[in-house]
Amino acid sequence: MKAFIFDLDGVIVFTDKFHYQAWKTTADSIGVYFDETINNRLRGVSRAESLEIILERHTGILSADEKANLMEEKNNIYRKLLDTMKPADVSDEVRSVLNKLRQMGFKLAIGSSSKNTVFILEKVQLRGAFDAISDGNNITRSKPDPEVFLKAASFLGEKPQDCVVIEDAVAGIDAAKAAGMITVGIGDAASYKKSDYTIRSFAELLDIELFKEPK
Let me know if 9 is a catalytic residue: yes
Q: Which amino acid is at 91?
A: S
Let me know if 83 is a catalytic residue: no
- Judge residue 86's burial from the number of C-beta atoms within 10 Å of its C-beta, 0-12 exposed, 13-18 middle, 19 or more buried: exposed
| Closest listed residue to residue 145, CA positions, set 134, 155, 156 | 134
Question: One of 9, 145, 174, 196 is an active-site residue; which one?
Answer: 9
Q: Do 76 and 48 contact (CB within 8 A), yes or no?
A: no
Question: One of 7, 145, 174, 196 is an active-site residue; which one?
Answer: 7
What torsion do the CA atoms of 21, 24, 26, 32 make, to the nearest 10 degrees?
Answer: 180
| Closest listed residue to residue 146, CA positions, set 132, 163, 131 | 163
- Please identify every residue annotated as catalytic: 7, 9
